[in-house]
Structure 1
Amino acid sequence: MTQTALAKPLDFPTGRPHGFAPLENEPQFDAQRHLQIEMPDEILPLSALGYSDAEIAECPTPFGVTSIFRVLSDEGAACLLDVARQLEQFTTSNARIARNVRGAVYRSKFLRDLCQSPELTAAISKICGTPLLPHTLPHQLGHLNYNPLEVGENVDKWHVDTLRIDFVMFVTDPKSVEGGEFQYYKGTKAEVAALKADGKPLDPEKIVSPAMPGPGYAVVQQGNMVVHRAKGLTAPGERITMVNGYVPQDIEFPDFSRFDQLYLVDPKDVAASEYTRHMKWMARERIDAQLEGFEFSEDTAKMAEEFESLSALMLETAKELRNAGTATVEHFGD
């Protein structure tokens, strides 16, 4: 990959969507004090989940999922818990999740600075083996999941994510509650879809429940390839997790935004506007890379292909926008 193929970061929007007032009293993020990043002991490739070489070639990295590793210091974990508790009043629900807060990075500067931390982004890039940027859709930064009010109801159903790379981090102490495990399936999403279509349960031998030692610990995954879920609590308690998303910095890679899904769970004006902004950024970065790599040539076929690629990107974006609201929320059930 050449340097010109790497996209420049997209600045966070200067304004807020209607109704997203900022928190009035929150800590100030300090990477020196609040981060305590440790590398995971194990990194499982997609091939270990059963994906073929052809399927892996369509991904920005062969990386699959990590073992548990530390992200936050004790002070950082305490600050994030304070912020998450303040944000709980803004929970919404959808067909997959009973209580979650999305777009909290518009409300909380602490959360925004944490999710966009260069130190954290560099660490996640190293783990995944490819350059990453904090997700250019703000609603994919700092997504917070809260346990349902009904004991026993799963926090989230079996699913794959609407983004490529993300980490799942416990905000509350997982040892302080009964149940609430994060789980992933050591198989492919096609395997899970086939089992569900046939009315068969997932193979229990392939369900992995990593032991989280405390708050501020996380798992990184290629979320659109790793099938995972969050179990419900078996007794009353408090369970909060944070999911932070990233995009590949390689701008030639096909977009994976799943706007069709985001439009169903986020405010419609915000989802459409963020998606449009993201795709314009991607188109701009591709054009800039081509301009920076300008050279004299007679290869008109290659020149035409570059314009066709840009045209296809824009036409697909327009198609997604026109089809907004026609999909259904996707998941594999409990």
Structure 2
Amino acid sequence: MPRSNGRMTTARERHQAGTALDHPRSATGLEQLRHALRGRPPRRVPPLPGEPRWCSGFVARDVRGPRVSLREFGYAGHELNRSHGVVDDTALAGPVRILTPQGLDHLAEVCDRLEPAAGTSRFITTRRVRGADRASAFLYNMVRDRAFLLACSRLAGVPLVPHPLRLPTVQINYFEPSDGHDLVKWHTDGMDHVLTLQLTGEEDYDGGRFTYFRGRADAFASVRAGDPRLVEAPCGERGAALFLHGSRVFHAVTPVTRGRRVTLVVSFLCPYLARRDSNTFWHLAADDGIAATLPHWLRLKWPVRDPAVDFGLRAASPVITWEDLWDAP
């Protein structure tokens, strides 16, 4: 990432990020419940024919990048999850390149071909394909590939599997100039560990800036434009990947005013911390409707004997262990 170089944004960029407060926040309370009651599951997308084949060699080697901890966001030590002597403390990591150029080109091709199946939502993100790995063998195999999972796990600092809830596991977002509604509202995610990958570069569009609040989620309500804790993430290059502790970091994307912006969003679960995962039923149901959320959510909450193995099986995924994280790449 030579352009961002792991730097923090300038004062000018922070001022621009402050204007993101002008666009809406996701619904809460009764309005969130109304979204859930009105919500309909995304339509099932037919399998994509003739797509490229996924290959483990598409994962870049030695994926490392700058990291900001949840403590730097104001969270206290006792609020953070722990397992095997490790604290789940990564608030944000990246930007990094997690795929090779060839892998990125194939991924962009797949996501472009899935765009006709995109549906709309008024809850958080306007135009997207949910559960995209159910329609694409390339995406399905990518997010369950051991090399890809290991790279993401080392970036996050905890072992990860694709989120077993299925619909939120892989989402493709499409943004183009519109009447101002193609955006991502201010929100926290319904799960803890989320990776966003840029499939178009900032030279292809204007606007579309990923902005986050560098503070506790419960402090966001008092934020005003110009607050220095509103930061624009330097992740606009094509191929840039950004990891986020989504349930604890308020974030948004400003409207695209020119061109086209496409991102892939992958949600993960740390099986060793499954009982303390922050996902909430009404957040997920507000996105996909109660009927689509309830069966998977109940299965997710069933007690388990061996969380790593059990959740790995549920996600049809290899299991990444703590020892895998500590071993040299």
Q: What's the TM-score bracket when you normalise by the shorter of the two chains?
A: 0.7 to 0.9
CA offsets, 1:114-155, max 9 Å, x none? 112211211222222222222111122221111155164452
Distance 1:116 1:242 in 2: 15
SS in 2 for 1:68: strand
Q: Quote how far apart the aligned CAs of 1:19 are.
A: 3.4
Distance 1:50 1:203 in 2: 19
Q: Is the 8 A contact 2:177 2:255 kept in 1?
A: no
Q: Does 1:101 align with 2:101?
A: no
Deviates more, 1:250-259 or 1:169-178: 250-259
Q: Quote how far apart the aligned CAs of 1:51 are.
A: 1.4
Q: Does 1:126 align with 2:154?
A: yes
Q: Which residue of 2 aligns with 1:214?
A: 237
CA offsets, 1:8-46, max 9 Å, x none? xxxxxxxxx9833211221111121x2225433311110
Deviates more, 1:97-106 or 1:245-254: 245-254
Distance 1:57 1:255 in 2: 9
Identity of aligned residues (%): 24
Structure 1 pair 101–241 and aligned structure 2 pair: CA distance change class (3 A): same
Deviates more, 1:96-105 or 1:50-59: 50-59
CA offsets, 1:181-236, max 9 Å, x none? 112111111110233xxxxx24442222222363221111111111111111122x
Name the structure, 1 or 2, with higher relative contact order (CA <8 Å, separation 6+): 2
Q: Is the 8 A contact 1:146 1:155 kept in 2?
A: no
Q: Does 1:283 align with 2:328?
A: no
Q: Which residue of 2 aligns with 1:87?
A: 114
**Whose Rg is larger?**
1
SS in 2 for 1:89: helix
Q: Does 1:232 align with 2:255?
A: yes
Give the counterpart of 2:208 among 168, 180, 183: 180
SS in 2 for 1:139: coil
**TM-score normalised by structure 2 residue count:** 0.73
Q: Is the 8 A contact 1:172 1:239 kept in 2?
A: yes
Q: Quote how far apart the aligned CAs of 1:253 are.
A: 3.5
The code of the aligned residue for 1:155 comes to L
Structure 1 pair 95–286 and aligned structure 2 pair: CA distance change class (3 A): closer
Q: Is the 8 A contact 1:38 1:70 kept in 2?
A: no
Give the counterpart of 2:178 among 150, 156, 179: 150
The code of the aligned residue for 1:256 comes to S
Distance 1:83 1:26 in 2: 7
Please list every run of at least 4 consecutive aligned residues from structure 1 whose deviation after the TM superposition is greater than 6 angstroms.
Answer: none
Structure 1 pair 180–269 and aligned structure 2 pair: CA distance change class (3 A): same
Structure 1 pair 251–53 and aligned structure 2 pair: CA distance change class (3 A): closer
Distance 1:229 1:167 in 2: 14
The code of the aligned residue for 2:48 comes to L
Q: Is the 8 A contact 2:211 2:251 kept in 1?
A: yes
Q: Which residue of 2 aligns with 1:271?
A: 293
Higher strand fraction (1 or 2): 2
Structure 1 pair 139–221 and aligned structure 2 pair: CA distance change class (3 A): same
Q: Quote how far apart the aligned CAs of 1:285 are.
A: 3.6
Give the counterpart of 1:20 among 45, 57, 68: 45
Structure 1 pair 89–137 and aligned structure 2 pair: CA distance change class (3 A): same
Q: Gapped runs of 5+ residues in structure 2?
A: 1-41, 311-329
Q: Gapped runs of 5+ residues in structure 1?
A: 1-16, 196-200, 290-334
Distance 2:61 2:181 in 1: 32
Q: Does 1:114 align with 2:135?
A: no
Q: Which residue of 2 aligns with 1:41?
A: 65
**TM-score normalised by structure 1 residue count:** 0.72
